[in-house]
Amino acid sequence: MSLLEAADSPASRASIADAFRREAVGLLGFFIRREVDVDDAADLVSETFLAAWKSHKTRTVEPELLRAWLFGIARKVLSRYRRGRVRRSALSDRLRATLSGDQAVQMTTSDEEAELAHHVRALIEFLPEIDQEIVRLVYWDGFSQEEVALIIGKPATAVRTRLSRTRKILRDQLAESGDVE
């Protein structure tokens, strides 16, 4: 049996269909929180499930790791999308980032909280890209450190170390600016 036939088996199709029903909204949020336009985010969710359906690993993924595995695929889909987008239009990227940052700040309840949220987001932008992604996956998407390790393809110990170091850096920077004690 070929890989395509295995991925197209009734059991595999049902598994992917169930995963789609459970995880599509979470994946859509994953892309949107990473400043992807809503229409593009929906397309990226479709691309993620298409890649999962085509993957020969679909049948061997443990059910409790399926969500993290899908988000790992989504991260690769996002990376491809970003590379293409950068080539197309740097100006629209800056505008989109500005607007999404403004919306996130508007969602907070007080001026003080809005200012702190904006400051934290700005500090996160200065972190290395991998550390930014770890922070987003843990604090925005609610993944455990072990799941993040699977998603980004790094050892769990490396994720724990990077997250610990990043939290210390952010704490120190916030204390230095007087935002927290």
DSSP string, 43-76: HHHHHHHHHHHH-TTGGGS-GGGHHHHHHHHHHH
Per-residue pLDDT at 57: 74
Neighbouring CB atoms inside 10 A of 19's CB total 21
Per-residue pLDDT at 176: 81
Q: Are 114 and 12 in contact (CB under 8 A)?
A: no
Tens-digit pLDDT profile for residues 71-103: 999 999 999 998 877 665 554 555 556 556 555
CA distance 106 to 89: 26
Per-residue pLDDT at 100: 62
CA distance 17 to 144: 24
Per-residue pLDDT at 48: 94
Per-residue pLDDT at 139: 87
Per-residue pLDDT at 154: 94
Structure tokens at 141: 């998407």
Per-residue pLDDT at 3: 34
Token look-up 């120190």 returns 172
CA distance 82 to 94: 13
The answer to whether the pTM exceeds 0.95 is no
Query: Which positions of the chain have pLDDT values less than 50?
Result: 1-7, 91, 105, 108
